[in-house]
Structures are given as C-alpha cells and as structure tokens.
Structure 1
C-alpha cells in the first residue's frame, strides 16, 4: 500500500461473475467427500456443500457442512500455499445445530482465527505458518502467470477427519487475454487485461498504485477483465522506461494510457474510470477533473484531498518542495483538489484508523463535493479500517507495510474491502448519461 510523504519531509513505501461457467455447482450437487471410517460404520456421512467449487477470487462462496451429529463440536479449517511456498491456514470451531449442520454465513464460531458469523472468514483470516500475520502478506502470484490458487477445506470432529473439499479461487475467467505494454512500443508501461472478445462494451478501467511504485495491482485488473472491463494496471514511476521517483509526473502520461485503454474493442469509450489508491488517488481525482472528456468516473481509495509533495523512495527529503504532478509542463499543486468539472462520480473510500494520513476525513470531504452536473460525489467510510483496505476482498492481508503500521485490523480491513468492492463494481456497471 502507499505511504504518503508529508509535505517537505515524510514519505515511505506502500507496501473479479464469469467464474468458469459450467463448473459452478449448486448446494446439493456433487459436493460430498468421503467421511472417516468410523462415521461410515455409524451410517453418517459429513458433506461439504459449496454453491461454487470454482469462483472468482473476489466472489463470496456459501459454505455449509451437513451430516454431522447434532450438538457436536466441529472444527473447520482452510489451508492454502502462497507463491513463496509458505503454508497458510484458518480455523473455526462450531457446534452443529439440531439438524447436524454448520453454516458459515449463519453461525458464530466458538473459537478460531476470526470472530462473528462470516461466510468468508475462513479465507481472509488465514495465518502464515511462520511470522507475524499482521506483518505478512498472502501473495498468490502474479495474475498474468498464476490464474488461480486453491484452498483446502477440512472438517474434523473428535479427532477424526470427516470431510474435505477443494475450493479454487481464480483471477481470470476463460477467454481473458493479457498483454504487456512497454514505453518503447506503447508509450506507457503497463499490464493490460482484456475480456473475452464476445459480449457488450463495458467501462474500461485504469488502475494506479501509490508511492510503492511499479505496476498497480494486476489481480484487480484481471478480476475486472473477468467481468468484461478492459483493465490496465499502469506503472507511472519505479519501472523500466519510467522515472525512478514520484516527481513531476505529467497528467498527460495518464491521458495517453487512458486513450489507449479507451480504444480497445471491448471498451465503452464514454465510461472510462480511473481507480487510484493512496498517492494514486491524487492522480485519479485530477484526471477526472482535468480530462472530463476522457474520464467519466474515478475511485479514490484511501485518498488525500490535496496533492502532496514529490516522493523519492531512496531519499525521503529529496522531494521536499517539489511537485509530484505536472500539467502542460507546469507544476500541479492543489489544496484541495477541485472536483467540479468531473463528468461522472468520484467514489472515495476512507478509513478512520489510517496511520499514514487522514483518508476518512478526505473521503468525507470528497463525498460532499458536486460534479459538473451538480450531483454529489460519493463516500464510503470505514472507521475501524486502516491504509490497507483497498480493492478486492477475501485475501489475507497485513496491517503493516515496510515495517510501519498501516492502521486498522485484519478483520476491519476485510469488512471494508468486502463492503466497498461490490459498490465499486456497481459504479463501473452503471450506464453513463
């Protein structure tokens, strides 16, 4: 996640419905695994029931266990391995109801890695086998090379394994294509994900990361393309062909990327949106303001209301007094960033326990502004979340980055992402006026 630099001195790093159609299974369809031998002799067969065995990684899955003995203590665990080979696991202990069932969306665990009824709690609350879960990120691999990751669900009671089932979480649905963009060939550095050639034109999405530099979250771009949105994960500094520092980055560079994206065959050119997180939220807002003929909507995750100073990762004081952005060759310094020329909506997502900057206050202020048609922008406010509460849900994430607290808790951030991501998708699916 991004780590903003305070004007003059402070900075730091910041540290998809089309899921394999035909493989999605209904609750009672083929989800039974063999029970243990003792349970078979007693005539009982525990069943792991899933509404989808293969689903996009940002889709909730209904998990239900049946065939248990009423009132028995039952432990459900999840196991997954990240791209480094590190093992992760989640755990929840339940009491089977009078019908011998456990429903994760309904039931509150007696103990485990999460609290309260949460149908996806066993996924986002997984912890690493080694290290501090608050400081360790589950990274399943790059979306362009690793299309999915697998989660093993295990049900046990009385020291016996009763049932097991694999759940596959995918980043790209069938037909999604990927292309690397280079500055020398395409004038921008990015990772372009295109939806299947068939289907209606939908809003293209430009994704911008923060002061960590490099490409924005490619998995988010892959998930969006799986839903029909041409999506470009852009690098604007900190990669080959681009400056090393966030210093004087011209808005024209983003405009070039937006035009390239808007020209894709599957794109609806009237509805382009820019999603920016942390320092990238500054560029998302200014692009919507200064290029209303090109950009329709913007999503500002963990935003600022102002443009901050330049940021040099290797020298925290080097950006002092320098502008992070430029427009038409001139430094761009805005306090606050105006939003009155925006053609569509700026949706701001802010956290109340953000330890890097006051994103909740900034999001609230954005939601009070009006666009070119006089309509208010929108804000989603999460008082207990921190600076890592951005993009898609259900993946284990840390609340520390670069050795510095980002604020919030794993549970609060998980709630914020699960609540905000569907609202971002609805904004993108809305028909442009």
Structure 2
C-alpha cells in the first residue's frame, strides 16, 4: 500500500510539474506588453534607451510622448515603428517610418515635441523650476495612427522623469551689490571651475543651462540683466553697463568654492554679445569664452553713460518678414548695420573663443559674424584662439540637447504682438544641439580643467 501511494504521489507531482511548466510557457507567451526606459533618473542631456517588449510580433505600433509644461500647455510627438519577430521595438536601434521624425532617432520623441493644437506653434517650451523634473508620458498604441485624429488601443505606457539638477547640486539665489542671479554649485566642497552664464533677449532669468553645467561639475552663475535699473522713466529698456557684468564675474571668481583662475563665460544670442564685450575688458580675464549664435555688436544704441539702451523695437529699418508675417531680425545684426560704438573689439581678445552658429539662423547674422571674427583675429595674430562650429539647417536658439525646437516664437506682446522667425529645421537642429553641447563640454574640459 505504501509503495502504491508513493508511485501515485510521484505521478501526481510529475503531472503538476508538467501543468505548471505549460502554464509558465503560456504566461510567457501572453505576457503583458512592457515599456522600459534607461537610465531611470537621467539628466536632460543624457540619451535614454526606450524599449518595448512582449508586443505583437511583426506588427505596426505607434509610440507617443506628451508633456504638460509649467504654463499648462500640452506638447506631443509620435512615431511609427514595426516590431520584430520577438515583438520588441528598440528606439536606439529601430527606425521610425513616419510621424514627428524619420529614421533611427533614440531621442526623437523628446526633441520632436510640439505644442497642441498646432496653432500654438509660436510658443517655446521653457523650464522655469529646475528643481523639479520634466515629466514625459510615453505610450505604445496599436497600429500606425495619428494621435490627434484618433487614439488607437493603448498597449502599455511609462512615465519618464528627466532632470536639470543632478543629486547634490545646490541652487542659491543671489541678490547683492545690485546683482540678480542664481548660483549653482556641484556636490562636494570644491573648489570648482566656473562659468558666468548669460541668456538672450526676450527672457528673464534662465537657469536650465547653469543647472546642467553644475551637474557636470562646474559652478555656474546664471545672471539676469533684463528689466534692471529702469530709472529716469526709461521703461522697457535695458541697462547693460560694463560694471554690472564685471561685478558679476568677480563675484563668481571670489566665491570660496570657485577656482579663481578657472572661470569662463558663456552667452547665447544677445548674451553672446555681452559675453564677448565683457571678456575683452582689462579688468576681466576669463579662462575661456563660448558664444552661441551671438552678434558681433549691439543692435541698439546706448543712450546714456550708464549703459542704458533704447528699445530694440525702435529701429525697424532692417526688419524683414516672411509670408506668415514673422519678423526676421537677421539683417539688423549684419556687421555693417550695427551701431559703431557697440561693435566688439575682438582684436583685444586674450582667451580661447568657441563660436557656435546655425546656418539657418534668422535672428542673428552668425555666418557673417564668424567670418569677421576669423579675419580680425587672423590680422591680430590670434587665429589660434578662435574655434568655429557651424551647423547646416540649425536655427538660432541652440540649447542643450533633446530640447524641443521652435522655428517661430512669440517675441513680445507690448506694445504690439511680434512673432519672430528663429529659423532651423527639426532634425538638423536636433543634431546641432547634441553635437554643440558635446563641443562645449569638451572645450570647457580643455580650458578649465587641464
């Protein structure tokens, strides 16, 4: 009786194992679709690998991304893919065959984001609070669909958080000696190499680039200069006196966690001009200078000894318009059209200069500016100081990588609404932003660390 019981038990165990094995196989075969993204807590400038698994094999799918920015506007992108025999799709390997972008673009869902509805295309995506992540919802839909026209069946989704500030980066508001800025310090005691960071016209204090630089090991001071010292009834005018930028540079240089002899300056657009102008002052001796889409001089007249300027909109002689009524400012910044007293005396430059331009820039005459700088520095025997990178198809605002591009943007509402043509095309501009950021970090590594 005991022998028979053991045999029966063994048969039951074998049957159970066979049954559970089949159950496991069926469970694997019918696994729930899964979407993954690595790394899990990336910085904005890091490439993410997005993979879909357990999807129907050899089937069309649509990947969608959407984000609601801090102004409450919704931005979306989508791309059509085809799964392989294993039912997987890998954005770092596979090509999009339609949608917001084409080809193998691992980060296309991010730089391809556009405001919805399309009528809001004059908006730009701006991150105001860099201490919170940029949160993107990525989903997979059945079939090749256009999300705006109708939703397909959602197979799976994932939420991705991307950060400007790495863990341990410190953000410090600065309001002293008339200077308004935000200081970002990397983790640790330092001292750190540092950058003075200047943005362009049309915005107040922009902290995104400085936060990223601190995440890469550089102390960075994001300096505000718009709307300050508007005394004497000169509303809507800027005060861009030399002393303000000199004081900001020295404040950064004198910080106890900054290497005083390893401080550079970076500027975008009009901030590029201010960076150039500040760097050639005898009281300021930066270790390096980076100018992104910057003019070779001031587009506005200085109206008093304190450096206050007239309204940029006051001189419209060189403005031109496209067929949609968007303004091109490019001709206003041609070297021959700039205010003589505002031209940068680049021959006085004493530190390495990295000059980055987009060849479809409709705001700044970057190409002509680069040629002028090259010729002037050559004549002064300083060609070795000049490095120029020019990007075909790129527009004006070349930001850190994977940032959505706006070909047109709302410039101002007062006294009248002005929409500016920034230029650039989505895919080439994305290439420019990714490559230019690498060049910037390499340039800083050479001139501030070695």
Where 1:147 maps in the other structure, the secondary structure is coil
Question: Taking structure 1 as reference, are residues 305 and 355 closer, same or farther at Cα in structure 2, changes over 3 Å only?
Answer: same
- Checking the alignment, whether the CA contact within 8 Å between 2:115 and 2:121 is kept in structure 1 is no
Residue 295 of structure 2 is aligned to residue 308 of structure 1: no
Q: What's 1:355 paired with?
A: 362
Q: Taking structure 1 as the reference length, what is the TM-score of the superposition?
A: 0.78
CA-to-partner distance for each residue in 1:173-229, whole Å, 9 max, x for gaps?
2222222222xx33311122222234x5332111112232532x2111111122221
Q: What's 1:252 paired with?
A: 243
Q: What's 1:225 paired with?
A: 214
Question: Taking structure 1 as reference, are residues 365 and 98 closer, same or farther at Cα in structure 2, changes over 3 Å only?
Answer: farther
Superposition map of 1:310-325 within 5 A:
310=301, 311-313=309-311, 316-317=314-315
Residue 72 of structure 2 is aligned to residue 85 of structure 1: yes
- Checking the alignment, whether the CA contact within 8 Å between 1:213 and 1:235 is kept in structure 2 is no
Q: What's 1:22 paired with?
A: none
How many angstroms does 1:102 deviate by? 1.7
CA-to-partner distance for each residue in 1:42-101, whole Å, 9 max, x for gaps?
524433232212111122112222333332111111121111222222111101123432
How many angstroms does 1:424 deviate by? 0.9
Q: What's 1:263 paired with?
A: 254
Q: What's 1:396 paired with?
A: 404
Distance, in Å, in 2 between the alignment partners of 1:203 and 1:248 is 28
Superposition map of 1:41-190 within 5 A:
42-132=29-119, 134-143=121-130, 146-157=131-142, 159-182=152-175, 185-190=176-181
CA-to-partner distance for each residue in 1:17-50, whole Å, 9 max, x for gaps?
xxxxxxxxxxxxxxxxxxxxxx969524433232
Q: What's 1:412 paired with?
A: 428
Distance, in Å, in 1 between the alignment partners of 2:434 and 2:120 is 19
- Checking the alignment, whether the CA contact within 8 Å between 1:195 and 1:266 is kept in structure 2 is no
Residue 207 of structure 2 is aligned to residue 209 of structure 1: no
Where 1:132 maps in the other structure, the secondary structure is helix
Question: Taking structure 1 as reference, are residues 374 and 395 closer, same or farther at Cα in structure 2, changes over 3 Å only?
Answer: closer
- Checking the alignment, whether the CA contact within 8 Å between 1:56 and 1:173 is kept in structure 2 is yes
Where 1:287 maps in the other structure, the secondary structure is helix
Distance, in Å, in 1 between the alignment partners of 2:191 and 2:374 is 28
Q: What's 2:12 paired with?
A: none
Q: What's 2:395 paired with?
A: 386
Give the RMSD, CA atoms, in angstroms.
3.0
How many angstroms does 1:337 deviate by? 3.2
How many angstroms does 1:150 deviate by? 0.9
Identify the structure with the greater helix proportion.
2
Where 1:55 maps in the other structure, the secondary structure is coil
How many angstroms does 1:245 deviate by? 5.6
Answer 1 or 2: higher relative contact order, Cα 8 Å, separation at least 6. 1
Distance, in Å, in 1 between the alignment partners of 2:383 and 2:125 is 42
Structure 2 unmatched ranges of 5 or more: 1-25, 144-151, 302-308, 319-338, 412-418
How many angstroms does 1:364 deviate by? 4.7
Question: Taking structure 1 as reference, are residues 254 and 351 closer, same or farther at Cα in structure 2, changes over 3 Å only?
Answer: same
- Checking the alignment, whether the CA contact within 8 Å between 2:225 and 2:239 is kept in structure 1 is no
How many angstroms does 1:118 deviate by? 0.8
Which of these two proteins has the greater Rg computed from alpha carbons? 2
Question: Taking structure 1 as reference, are residues 399 and 374 closer, same or farther at Cα in structure 2, changes over 3 Å only?
Answer: closer
Question: Taking structure 1 as reference, are residues 116 and 291 closer, same or farther at Cα in structure 2, changes over 3 Å only?
Answer: farther
Distance, in Å, in 1 between the alignment partners of 2:184 and 2:126 is 19
Determine which of 337, 341, 350 is the counterpart of 1:333.
Answer: 341
Distance, in Å, in 2 between the alignment partners of 1:279 and 1:288 is 14
Distance, in Å, in 2 between the alignment partners of 1:87 and 1:272 is 39
How many angstroms does 1:284 deviate by? 1.1
